[in-house]
Amino acid sequence: MGRFVARRVFQMVLVMFAVSVLTFAIFNLIPNGDPAVRMAGRQQSASTIREIRREWGFNDSVVVQYVKTMEKVFTGDLKSYFTQLPVGEEIVKGLPRTLSLAIGAALLWMFVAICFGLYSAVKAGKFADRFLTIIALIGISMPVFWIGALMNHYLGFKLGWFPNGGYVEFSEDPFDWAYHLILPWTALAILFIGFYSRVLRSNVLDTINEDYVRTARAKGLGERRIMIRHVLRNSMIPIVTLWGLDFGAVLGGGAILTETVFDLQGVGQYAAEAIGQLDVPPVLAVTMYAAFFIVLLNAVVDILYAYLDPRIRLQ
Amino acid sequence: MAIFFGIVFVLLVACCLAAPLWANHVAHTTATENHLSDTIKVDGETKNVVALDGVPIGPTWQGEFFLGADRNGRDIMVRLLYGGRNSLLIGVAAALMTTILSIVLGVIAGYFRGWSDGVIRAVLDIIWSFPVVILGVALGVALALGGLKIGPITIAGDSLAIPIFIIGIVYVPYMARPVRGQVLSLREKEFVEAARAQGAGPLRIMFSEVLPNLASTLLVFFTLLIANAVLLEAALSFLGAGVRPPSPSWGTMIKEGVDRIATAPHLAIVPGLMLVITVLSLNVFGDGVRDALDPRAKVRLEH
């Protein structure tokens, strides 16, 4: 186990290095034109551009530029030249909101997808199954910001059933916190519910024909017990891996599209505003942090799996 | 059902291609022409296209401003059709780019294995580490100002080729990995062995043995890729890192609509519905094709 962990961590560090090089290249090497001008964004005074060129080492070799960029991103020295605010602080400020959104949505989509997927598989081929399949397909075909904006306008603003955007701290009032987050959670979960329920449905249908399910039935176990103890448990394994990855993707990507619509003011909204202004430093930082987080999450999931299933360690 | 939705998609494409016909002969305007101070007769009543308080007219259900106007007094129906052209062009072109890149990379990695496989897999893994939206946005922001220079070709920052390039790159790992896997198992099959024994070179084997056997997978992937590319275009344009205004696309139209949803919800609903119908028809069609050709294949794309 120790050797496996060491190897996996080493591999993770290598991938992180490669990811940082690619991010650096995306912002400073691949585009056409002066990187200092891009970095300045809407703050195009000659003195700012001179300052950027010196601070980021744009007059020096590529290696120096890379090292200086990494120093800036990981010492919290990075600031937006447009808003003059430090990027690190803004991200830390928004993080609890983004985490609240992502964790709640992930739990919601997993729970609903299990119900839908299991029901759909049990009723395979019948009307209920077809109906849920169509609903799932519509779910994966809707942009989250569009359905979110419509929900916020009609359910929040017009009908007044839910708050019209905004965020309340959990420590202040847990009920109000959840009440403000119900719509964002739902909007974000819809896409994944469509996806997961279909994957689960096909997994359940595959598992139902396994020998151990037949054995369980021959033993005289109740149908409900067979479904939950034997079928569902084994159908969940591939989904849990996806869950980890998609959670990372939501934290890094989906939140950007959801938060602005509901005015949650987390990291996602911060990033979305920076993108709208073509303000490079915050986008650079969010990209790097998101990719690093996903690489880390992948390694953690792999190590957990190796811990649970010893066969993986030997591969 | 798959065939029905396939026809819906073809009809949508045909409508968008016919955009100039509608613009010239029915609506008598263009996608970017403002009509801020114009008036229009609806049921014999004269109305402002954009009211004095800035609220644009809703659907009139007649030739001009069939689906209403936006805040600049531009005809929504005309913009919807021209925007669809851009969105679909980006979707199809990006999907084509992804497919070609994935075939080349997947076949080289899977067939030759060895160091080329190692390098290609490592590069794909690194791209795959980025969430799709983040990678698209990062490239969008980086390329928005100066554009892109590949050898002698320079692409301007506001060109449609930029979103095509971005979306075309972002999805490559999701397709190249499964293609590689399939090639890896195909190359061990007896018929490939037989072709090799007959003295066929690697190129010949690829084109006459491996690629035809990949055709059904590629078709399903291509359909689902268009759907995802259209969605990603909308997301990037929504954030301001895709199609640049005033060029219409469904993404930019949804953005303008969401900003003004409180006063004129039709601005957001109309392009969004169009997008959902398009993506849904592609998803159902792709699903049906997969079930018909290879029900056990597991094709998944990230959002």
When CB atoms are compared, the residue of B139, B239, B303 closest to A272 is: B239
Higher pLDDT, residue A99 or B150: A99
User: Are A145 and B261 within 8 A, CB to CB?
Assistant: no
B12-16, B157-161, B292-296, range with the lowest pLDDT: B292-296
**Averaged pLDDT, A123-127:** 84
**Averaged pLDDT, B221-235:** 93
CB pairs under 8 A between A and B: 156
d(CA A313, CA A2): 10
What is the ipTM for the molecules in this complex?
0.88
When CB atoms are compared, the residue of A252, A254, A275 closest to B241 is: A275
User: Are A22 and B126 within 8 A, CB to CB?
Assistant: yes
Indicate the average pLDDT of chain A: 86
Burial class of residue B200 (count of CB atoms within 10 Å of its CB; 0-12, 13-18, 19+): middle
Phi and psi dihedrals of A32, rounded to 5?
A: -85, 140
Of chain A, the end-to-end C-alpha distance in Å amounts to: 12
- pLDDT value, residue B75: 82
- pLDDT value, residue B302: 45
pLDDT in tens, A264-284: 888 999 999 989 888 889 999
Residues of chain B with Cβ-Cβ distance to A248 below 8 Å are 131
pLDDT in tens, B142-195: 888 777 877 777 788 778 889 999 999 999 998 998 899 888 888 888 888 888
**pLDDT above 50 for B74:** yes
Indicate the average pLDDT of chain B: 84
d(CA A41, CA B29): 35
Between the CA atoms of B30, B36, B37 and B42, what dihedral angle is there, to the nearest 10 degrees?
70
A30-44, A118-132, A278-292, range with the lowest pLDDT: A30-44
d(CA A105, CA A189): 5
Residues of chain B with Cβ-Cβ distance to A257 below 8 Å are 133, 235, 238-239
- pLDDT value, residue A312: 66
d(CA A20, CA A288): 7
d(CA B169, CA B154): 18
Closest chain B C-alpha to A123 CA, distance in angstroms: 19
What SS3 class is residue B265?
A: coil
Cα angle vertex B139, ends B151, B135, to 5°?
130
Question: Is A194 in CB contact (< 8 Å) with chain B?
Answer: no
**pLDDT above 60 for B100:** yes
User: Are A30 and B265 within 8 A, CB to CB?
Assistant: no
Residue for token digits 């198992």?
Answer: B185
- pLDDT value, residue B303: 40
Model confidence at A19, pLDDT cuts 50, 70, 90, reads very high
Query: Could you say which DSSP state residue B44 is in?
Result: T
Q: Pick the residue from chain B with its C-alpha nearest to A21.
A: B126
A168-172, B211-215, B270-274, range with the lowest pLDDT: A168-172
Q: Which pTM does this prediction carry? A: 0.89
**Averaged pLDDT, B104-119:** 88
- pLDDT value, residue A221: 82
Task: Give the DSSP letter string of B43-82.
Answer: TTEEEESB-TTSPBP----SSTTTT-B-TT--BHHHHHHH
Model confidence at A186, pLDDT cuts 50, 70, 90, reads very high
Residue for token digits 């003059």?
Answer: A84
When CB atoms are compared, the residue of A191, A253, A276 closest to B132 is: A253
Q: Pick the residue from chain A with its C-alpha nearest to B253.
A: A146
Residue A29 near residue A56, CB atoms below 8 Å:
no
Q: What percent of chain A has pLDDT over 90?
A: 20
Model confidence at A10, pLDDT cuts 50, 70, 90, reads very high
**Averaged pLDDT, A73-85:** 83
Residue B125 near residue A15, CB atoms below 8 Å:
yes
- pLDDT value, residue B295: 56
When CB atoms are compared, the residue of A140, A146, A272 closest to B268 is: A146
